[in-house]
Amino acid sequence: MDDKIISLAHGSGGKLMHDLIKGLFLSKFDNPLLSNLSDSAILNIAGAKLAFTTDTYVVKPIFFPGGDIGKLAVCGTVNDLSVMGAKPLCLSCGLVIEEGFEYEMLEKVIDAMKVAACDAGIEIVTGDTKVVEKGKCDGLFINTSGVGVVEKKVLSLEDIQIGDKVIINGGIGEHGIAVLSAREDLGLDSNIESDCASLNGLVSKIINSSDKVRFMRDPTRGGLATTLNEIVDRKDFGIIIDEEKIPIKDYVKGTCELLGFDPLYIANEGKVVIVVAAEDASRVIDGMRGEPLGKDAEIIGEVVSQHKGKVCMKTLSGGTRIVDMLTGEQLPRIC
Amino acid sequence: MDDKIISLAHGSGGKLMHDLIKGLFLSKFDNPLLSNLSDSAILNIAGAKLAFTTDTYVVKPIFFPGGDIGKLAVCGTVNDLSVMGAKPLCLSCGLVIEEGFEYEMLEKVIDAMKVAACDAGIEIVTGDTKVVEKGKCDGLFINTSGVGVVEKKVLSLEDIQIGDKVIINGGIGEHGIAVLSAREDLGLDSNIESDCASLNGLVSKIINSSDKVRFMRDPTRGGLATTLNEIVDRKDFGIIIDEEKIPIKDYVKGTCELLGFDPLYIANEGKVVIVVAAEDASRVIDGMRGEPLGKDAEIIGEVVSQHKGKVCMKTLSGGTRIVDMLTGEQLPRIC
């Protein structure tokens, strides 16, 4: 690593973060479970396959249209388990609270966690609370770690085949734009709302509708572009996506144009990218569209033998461009 | 809760923290796993009993004599699993890093985690990294969550019987005094060192030496006094401890006298309180004394039918006093 100081971009989900993870964490904590860089580690215990994952939430502000840090902390970790093909069972909750934080706000956040946990059908079973002096954290940070059990097969990047289809369950960029709208007084569309949601119900439906679901990942930090790049990284295939097919709400498109953001890099918190065998793609899409969280599902692309290790996009204007991994930091503290 | 603002004392391990946990978290996240307030939740999965726990470490300063936040984050969570009677298997690692934090310091911390994990025979299998703006956290916070498997029985407060003996594996207060010495320039004894250590090896030896080990807990925040109070809370028995028998190093005693601290409330990070049937106490002590982390083990007290719900101490001066739960905050950010 050239930089000798940690910058915001090291937490962006983009290239610098990947460099930090590979250069420091993987080289020190060298083990096969960590090395595959999945959303969860898979543990073999007593003949069962358990998924285990962790995420710390530092979103700013704590409350935003469509959610808050509590809802996010439950949904985000539920989703990290779900996309491994695991049924989420329970979460831990580790709080770091700034001295002087209002009890009423804490209660609202805990209420939101409770509702989100109930909606997802999981329980919060263990916790920890730390308080630091005023000015030593930013209100409230929440870590949730989660345990789930894989009932069918573990989904893996290694199972992806050329010709597979790439699906997303709905519009991109809604979470990032919602947080941004709460942060800055931009006079944005009042319909803006984060897509923050637990996807375990939808994912379970998808897995049960096809035995040829190869891989899933939730495109959070770094957005859809980063997730697709993670899929092709050092692989012998590429992905080509079709801009026209990518679902995006008008207000997301409009806000991105206004501010010069590329929606492909904006965070989602209720979206899942699915790679599935071509012959099952229609069946999977049909099943998804019957679910509230999948009603806008689209086949957005395909795994191809060309463009090895790269993501390309057929643009609306008829050209093709490479979609790189995020390099800088577009929107810090989005989750 | 009367206070409408979170104070440092809400994170102290003492009475206010217990009120917050019971008044807010237990009432919202109502479920039997959380409600027993153990160091880990016990999950029944595929016929196996899994222990699951979480802790966020915000110790200040990050480096202190005998350890650092990385070593602490591994040992502390390993110990929370161990005291449930579980064999620790793996940990997650969630980092919150302040923008501008030195890469070299981060590397030192990660190295310490690696060494501590290796010493404890566990692996770090999943992680998350967040970076927040300068001034929005204090250098580095680390959450570790852990999964372990209970090989014999789950240790439980409910198994404690009148007449049982209370054992500790060595001197109290060393972690708290080490952190304090690193924080303030007190010109203290240069031999001061945190007791920070993974106890899974010692605990395994203890469990294998007796089938009548009733309960264990590591006396961290709030110290020995708080742990003993947690044991007797709302129970039909009391605990009487003997001040003369409580191991304490001279420098801890001296520093506490100098600063007006009560060592019973000072945090430990390599100590375990064991409640065991009287007839097995000598055997357990003998086994412990053969281990480096148990060489100063002592029987410090007994479970009694009197003083229900209270901890009493026979003092050196010949009197008896009640040892209450910590009410204020003696040393914030000790772990």
CB A9 within 8 A of CB A17: yes
Residue A54's CB is within 10 A of a number of other CB atoms, namely: 27
Q: Which neighbouring-strand residues pair with A168?
A: A273, A298
Tokens encoding B297: 């083990």
How confident is the model over B176-230, as pLDDT tens digits? 999 999 987 777 767 889 999 999 999 999 999 999 999 999 999 999 999 999 9
**A-interface mutation test, from B3, B52, B128, B132, most A Cβ less than 10 A away:** B128
Let me know: does A148 contact A81? Beta carbons within 8 Å.
yes
Output the CA–CA distances (angstroms, integers) from residue A212 to A66, A274, A300, in the order listed: 33, 11, 18
Task: Say if residue B133 is exposed, middle or buried (CB neighbours under 10 Å; 0-12, 13-18, 19+).
Answer: middle
Instruction: Give the closest-approach CA distance of A244 to chain B in angstroms.
Output: 33
What would the two tokens of residue B126 be? Answer: 């999943």
User: Closest chain B residue to A99 measured between Cα atoms?
Assistant: B7
The amino acid present at B60, given as its one-letter code, is K
Weakest-pLDDT range from B19-23, B34-38, B191-195: B34-38
Q: What is the pLDDT of residue B106?
A: 96
Q: How confident is the model at residue A325 (pLDDT cuts 50, 70, 90)?
A: confident
Which residues contact residue A143 at a Cβ distance below 8 angstroms, ignoring those fewer than 6 apart?
A: A54, A55, A56, A57, A73, A92, A93, A94, A95, A96, B54, B56, B94, B143, B145
B5: which DSSP letter?
A: B
Strand partners of residue A144: A55
If one compares A292 and A152, the residue with the highest pLDDT of the two is A292
For B112-128, write each residue's pLDDT tens digit.
Answer: 999 999 999 999 999 99
Across the interface, which of A21, A92, A125 has its CB nearest the CB of B129?
A21
Cα separation, A87 vs A51, in Å, equals 9
Q: Mutation test of the interface with chain A: which of B80, B89, B129, choosing the one with the most A Cβ atoms within 10 A?
A: B129
- By residue count, chain B amounts to 335
Picking from B4, B93, B123, the nearest residue to A104 by CB comes out as B4
Q: Which residues of B touch A101 (CB under 8 A)?
A: 5-6
Contact yes or no for A247/A182 (Cβ under 8 A): no
pLDDT of residue A161: 98
Tell if the pTM clears 0.90, that is, is over it.
yes
Tokens of B243: 């001040």
Nearest chain B Cα distance for residue A132, angstroms: 6
- Residue B285 is which amino acid? I
Tell me whether residues A97 and B1 touch, CB distance under 8 A.
no
Q: What gap in Å lies between CA B136 and CA B294, rounded to an integer?
A: 41
Give contacts of B58 with chain A, Cβ < 8 Å: 96, 130, 132, 136
CA distance A238 to A310: 5
- Which residues have C-beta within 8 Å of that of residue A62, sequence separation ≥ 6? A68, A69, A105, A109, A139, A140
Q: Dmax of chain B from CA atoms?
A: 57
Convert the pLDDT of each residue in A45-89 to its tens digit.
Answer: 888 999 999 999 999 999 999 999 999 999 999 999 999 999 999
Counting one residue from A and one from B, how many pairs have CB atoms under 8 Å apart?
282
User: Collapsing DSSP states into helix, strand and coil, what is residue B150?
Assistant: strand
Nearest CA in chain A to B17: A129
Q: What is residue B304's three-state secondary structure?
A: strand
Per-residue pLDDT tens over the stretch A157-195: 999 999 999 999 999 999 999 999 998 777 776 788 999
Show the DSSP H helices in chain A as ranges.
15-20, 27-28, 32-35, 69-82, 103-120, 174-183, 200-209, 223-232, 250-259, 278-289
Give chain A's length: 335
Nearest residue in A to B5, CA atom: A102
CA atoms of A122 and A116, how far apart (whole Å): 9
8 Å CB contact of B126 and A24: no
Calpha distance A312→A202 (Å, rounded):
28
From A130's Cα to the closest Cα of chain B, the distance in A is 5
Distance from CA of A269 to the nearest CA of B (A): 16
Give the per-residue pLDDT at A134: 95
Residue B82's pLDDT band, with cuts at 50, 70 and 90, is very high
Helices (H), A31-85: 32-35, 69-82
pLDDT in the model for residue A46: 83
In the prediction, which pLDDT does B190 show?
72
**% of chain A at pLDDT higher than 70:** 99
Mutate: best of A128, A151, A335, partner B, most B CBs <10 A: A128
pLDDT at residue B330 greater than cutoff 90: no
Residue in chain B closest to A131 (alpha carbons) equals B11
Give me the mean pLDDT over the B66-73 stretch: 98
Q: Which amino acid is at B39?
A: D
In order of A68, A137, A141, A179, A301, the CA distances from A60 in angstroms are: 9, 12, 10, 7, 33
The C-alpha angle B34, A87, A55, rounded to 5 degrees, equals 65
Q: Do A128 and B101 touch (CB under 8 A)?
A: no
> What pLDDT does residue B185 have?
72
pLDDT band at residue A4 using 50, 70 and 90 as cut-offs: confident
Residues from chain A that touch B125, judged by Cβ atoms under 8 A, are: 31, 33-34, 41, 43, 52
Q: Rounded to whole angstroms, how far apart are CA atoms B93 and A20?
A: 14
**What is residue A332's predicted lDDT score, i.e. its pLDDT?**
85
Nearest CB to B138: which of A93, A136, A147? A136
Count of CA atoms in the C-beta half-sphere (13 A) of A96: 30
Chain B positions touching A29 (Cβ under 8 A) are 93, 110, 113-114, 117, 123-124, 127
* Confidence grade of residue A3 (pLDDT, cut at 50, 70, 90): low
CA angle at residue B27 from B21 to B31, to 5 degrees? 100
Place of tokens 């079973």: A125
Q: Do A145 and B54 touch (CB under 8 A)?
A: yes
Categorize the per-residue pLDDT at B3 as very low, low, confident or very high, splitting at 50, 70 and 90: low
How many CB atoms are located within 10 Å of the residue A189 CB?
A: 15
What distance in Å separates residue B111's CA from the closest CA in chain A? 7
Cβ proximity of A323 and A225 under 8 Å: yes
Residues A82-105 have pLDDT tens digits of: 999 999 999 999 999 999 999 999
Q: What is the DSSP string of A85-102?
A: TEEEEEEEEEEEEETT-B
Verify whether the Cβ–Cβ distance A4 to B104 is below 8 Å.
Answer: yes
What pLDDT sits at residue B47? 87
Average pLDDT over residues A288-313: 98
Contact B125 A34 (CB under 8 A): yes
Neighbours of A292 (CB within 10 A): 9
Tell me the domains of chain A and their CATH numbers: 38-150 (3.30.1330.10), 157-322 (3.90.650.10)
Q: Kind and range of the H or E element at B132?
A: strand B123-132
3-state secondary structure of A173: coil
With an 8 Å Cβ cutoff, are B141 and A145 in contact?
no
Average pLDDT over residues A196-217: 97
- Residue B57 burial (CB count, 10 A): 25
> Whole-number mean pLDDT of chain B?
93
Q: Which two tokens stand for residue B158?
A: 């409910």
* Least confident span in A14-18, A122-126, B231-235: A14-18
A113 with B11: Cβ contact below 8 A = no
* Nearest CA-CA distance, residue B116 and chain A, Å: 11
Extended beta strands in B226-335, E state: 238-242, 273-276, 298-304, 311-314, 320-322
* Mean per-residue pLDDT, A188-205: 91
Closest CA to A231 of A311, A172, A133, A150: A311
3-state SS class at B275: strand
Q: Which residues of A touch B32 (CB under 8 A)?
A: none
The residue type found at A141 is: F
Confidence (pLDDT) at A7: 92
Residue A211 to residue A257: CA distance in whole angstroms: 40
Q: At what angle do helices B200-209 and B69-82 cross, to 10 degrees?
A: 20
In the prediction, which pLDDT does B298 show? 98
Cβ contact B58:B139 at 8 Å? no
